[in-house]
Every structure is written in structure tokens, then in C-alpha cells.
Amino acid sequence: MRPTKRNSGSTKRTFRGKHRFEHWLRDNQVYFITARVRGKFPAFNTEEAKSVFWDAFEHYTVAHGFVPWVTSLLGNHYHTLGYLKLGTELPRMMRGIHGRTAKRVNDLLVAEGLDRIKPFWIDSGRQNYFDGCIRDDLQARRAYRYTLIQSERHGVCDDWRTYDHTRVGLDIDRAVKRALELGAFMEGVRYKRYEGRHAD
């Protein structure tokens, strides 16, 4: 099994009796990543704000070697599923995306007479994004579909294909085939959420 580095703000495993949130940094890995604006504020309701996000997302994913399979941006959150060659690039990529987006979207909010959101991305505790290492083909397909139909689930549209802010980078069959060839799933690690469930 490939080594896994864990990245958190502390060496302690728990905080106030709960398991401390940590990021797993694994090379050659398919990741699901999601983040939400503080307080669920709809900071991305305008096309201009959405454009800020996409500019940052496209720049930093390319710069850090993340290959998005599917990404969906809504008014206050986003999800993306994709492949990352070097796990140590994950925190750098996220700092870039989130730092640039927070600064520029906050500037737009101020121009509209609203207050800056500080911190912009930290929604609960000290967690400013969630990342999960995808275990297998089934979990990849579920995460892909979940991301793909976000706009439908939130009532933004009736068909995700009509929503400009759901972007497909790779067809799921092609993406999974390549991930299997690369050995890019974290196989052999239990994922309680899917245990005991039947396959789709």
C-alpha cells in the first residue's frame, strides 16, 4: 500500500472528545473534495462571483496536477471529484483556490455594500474543506453522480446539462478505467458509510 501522510493543525488525534479532522495526502489518488462558504452565505449567487471561482479553480488545479472528472459550483458550496498525482500538492492547491476566491469574492461583496466574510471558507470548527480518498469503482461512480446532479438536487434546474456551473472533465467510464489502470483507488480501507449497502 502507498504511504499516506496525514495533515492536520495539531498532533493530537482528538479535540473536545471528538476525532480531529485531518487531510490524507496520498500520491496517485482519486479525491472527492467539497467546501462551503461560512454560514452557508450565498456568495456565489452572481455570475461574476462564479467566474472568480472558476478562474482560481482552473488555474490552481492545472498548476498542482489535479485532473477534475466532474465539478459543480452552487451558491454557497462546491464539489469536485478528480485525480491527483502528488498528494503533497493538495494543501497547496486548496490554499490557492480558496485564498484567491475568498479575496476576490469578498471584494465583490464589499462593492455591493455587504460585509466581508471572515473566514470565508471555514464553515464548522477549523475545517475549511473536506477531502476524501476514493476507495473503489463503486464509490467513484456514486461520488461522480452526486456531484453531477447537484444543481438538480438543489432545485437550480431540472437537468444538470443546462447548468453552466456543472463541468464534466472526463466521462465516468473513461475516468474509472484510467484510475484502475493507475491503481489510484485506496482499496482495502474500510468506508463505514457504504458497508452493508447494495450496489447501485
Contact 141, 176 (CB under 8 A): yes
Q: Which three cell numbers stand for residue 104?
A: 476576490
pLDDT band at 24 (very low <50, low <70, confident <90, very high): confident
44 found inside a domain: yes
Mean pLDDT of the chain: 89
pLDDT at 68: 99
195 found inside a domain: no
CA 121 to CA 95: how far, in whole Å?
A: 11
176 found inside a domain: yes
Q: Tell me the residue range of the domain where 185 lies.
A: 23-189
The sign of the CA dihedral 12, 92, 109, 147 is: negative
Number of separate domains in the chain: 1
pLDDT at 3: 55
**Mean pLDDT across the stretch 123-130?**
74
CA 109 to CA 113: how far, in whole Å?
A: 7
Q: Which three cell numbers stand for residue 34?
A: 467539497
**Mean pLDDT across the stretch 166-187?**
98
Q: What is the CATH number of the domain that holds 109?
A: 3.30.70.1290
Q: What is the pLDDT of residues 37-81, one digit of tens each?
A: 999 999 999 999 999 999 999 999 999 999 999 999 999 999 999
8 found inside a domain: no
Q: Which residue has the higher pLDDT, 6 or 37?
A: 37
pLDDT at 2: 56
200 found inside a domain: no
Q: What is the pLDDT of residues 35-47, one digit of tens each?
A: 999 999 999 999 9
* Phi-psi sector, 86: left (phi>0), alpha (psi -120 to 50), beta: beta
The sign of the CA dihedral 200, 141, 137, 29 is: negative
- Residue 7: pLDDT above 70? no
pLDDT at 38: 94
pLDDT at 128: 85
**Mean pLDDT across the stretch 134-153?**
98
109 found inside a domain: yes
- DSSP letters spanning 58-86: HHHHHHHTEEEEEEEE-SSEEEEEEEES-
Task: Specify the pTM.
Answer: 0.87
